[in-house]
Amino acid sequence: LPITLDTLDRHGLWTSQFFSPFKPLNDALGGDRAAGQAFVAGVAEQLNFGLLPEVSTTTYRTKDVMLSTALDHRPGVFGDQQHISQATLSENAVVFITHPKNEPFTGVDRFPDADGYWTGSGTLPRSAQVGATSIHLYTPAYAAPPQGGSGPLDQFTYLPLTHAYFPTEHFDDSTGDGSWLFGREGDGYVALWSWRPFDFVDPLPADIFTNGLTRPYDLRAEGGPDNVWILEVGDGEQWGDFDTFRAAFSAAEISVTPHETESGFGGFDVVWHSPAEGRIEFSTSGPLVVEGTEVPLRHELRFDNPWARVPFDQPLYEIGDDQGGIVLDFDRGTRTVG
């Protein structure tokens, strides 16, 4: 922290777009570096969003669907433009979940970077993915400052809800069943579940930017910022028709145990019997367990896929299949095609 503050002082960066929000904090501390370190340690969940730690990501993909997730990435803390997970069925038929920082901006003609409704975040979930299914546990690590406040930490606020982007007009079919919402695009299927009741924003407000969407797309689960979401994909090759896919998920067992505390949100224990991936246990602080076996949430390899298995800090990348491949040697600066 002292090096960062010295750099901002030396180069006059306190008035810049990215650092001006922190100037009131620095002024309040009177430039005392030791006091600053102690203060930041106490509010790290709000202030450390600019750090860039390692991220373990997982992707499941077929010709019709794709599901990707950042595993256990900074759960509970303030987020700024992190995109933790997404189901993709086509260029426009995508589904993702966020915890919004604020209500959507009005009177704009795009999604502004500063708007924390879609492009930003309130807090980040603890997320895991096993094959075609993912679980997202929203448990804020700090209480929300007041909306519209002028205090030095009030910009790190969030709304008492989570929501999903589910653009119904970009799907060939979409239908709900209790706590489930299903979508089909071609032969690709997606299933979305929320522990808290959800509902589409409908009709769409006239004064917000929708990027051309005219039908419901904003699926809000109100009642609190803590929630459990499950997102899973499938396709016709695996499930046959869409009705079979929906029936399997509607009948699947889900157990959610919330833990309340006096000081804040206590998190969740979840047991999800995925029709495709089996029994999955996940919690706000515990391991990911699949069919009784613990599954790590951090990858041992830098790349691990059918075409390459490369450890971290390895300068030699061998990428290929039985049809050919390529060797990248970063020490020698060479590329060999085979």
Per-residue pLDDT at 337 exceeds 80? yes
The verdict on residue 119 lying in a domain is: yes
- Please indicate, yes or no, whether residues 287 and 309 belong to a single structural domain of this protein: no
> Is 332 part of any domain?
yes
Q: What percent of the chain has pLDDT over 90?
A: 76
Residue 205: its pLDDT value, please? 93
Residue 252 has pLDDT above 90, yes or no: yes
Burial classification of residue 132, based on how many CB atoms lie within 10 Å of its CB (0-12 exposed, 13-18 middle, 19 or more buried)? buried
Alpha carbons 171 and 188: distance in angstroms, whole number:
10
What is the per-residue pLDDT across 208-217, written as a single tens digit (0 to 9) for each? 999 999 999 9
* 150 has pLDDT over 80: no
- Domain shared by 264 and 211, yes or no: yes
**Three-state DSSP class for residue 320:** strand
Q: In this structure, are 291 and 307 located in the same domain?
A: no
pLDDT at 86 over 80: yes
Instruction: Tell whether 158 and 115 lie within a shared domain.
Output: yes
In a domain, 99, yes or no: yes
Whole-number pLDDT of residue 263? 67
C-beta of residue 284 within 8 angstroms of C-beta of residue 126 = yes
Per-residue confidence (pLDDT) for residue 288, from 0 to 100: 98
Task: Return the biggest CA–CA distance within the chain.
Answer: 66
- The answer to whether residue 184 sits within a structural domain is yes
pLDDT of the residue at 12: 94
Q: Is residue 185 part of a domain?
A: yes
For residues 33 and 70, membership in a common domain is answered with: no
Q: Is 47 part of a structural domain of the chain?
A: no
pLDDT of 308 over the 70 cut: yes
3-state secondary structure of 86: strand
249 and 332 housed in the same domain? no
Query: Are 330 and 199 in a shared domain?
Result: no
Q: What is the pLDDT of residue 275?
A: 98
| 105-127 confidence digits (pLDDT tens) | 999 888 887 789 998 789 999 99
Instruction: Output the pLDDT for position 130.
Output: 98
Q: Does the pLDDT value for residue 262 go beyond 80? A: no
237 and 202, same structural domain?
Answer: yes
pLDDT beyond 80 at 273: yes
Structural domain range at position 250: 52-298
**How many domains is the chain built from?**
3
DSSP structure string for 158-204? --SEEEEE--GGGSSEEEEETTEEEEEETTEEEEEEESS--EE--SP
Q: Does one domain contain both 138 and 32?
A: no
From residue 282, give the alpha-carbon distance in Å to each of 68, 161, 230, 285.
18, 21, 11, 8
Residues of the chain with pLDDT > 70: what percent? Answer: 99
pLDDT, residue 165, reads 98
CB atoms under 10 Å from CB of 32, counted, come to 12
Per-residue pLDDT tens over the stretch 10-69: 999 999 987 887 888 888 888 888 988 998 888 889 888 877 888 999 999 999 999 999
Task: Tell me, yes or no, whether 290 and 316 share the same domain.
Answer: no
- For the segment 286-307, the average pLDDT, to the nearest whole number, is 95
Mean pLDDT of 199-208: 95
Q: Are residues 17 and 133 in the same domain?
A: no
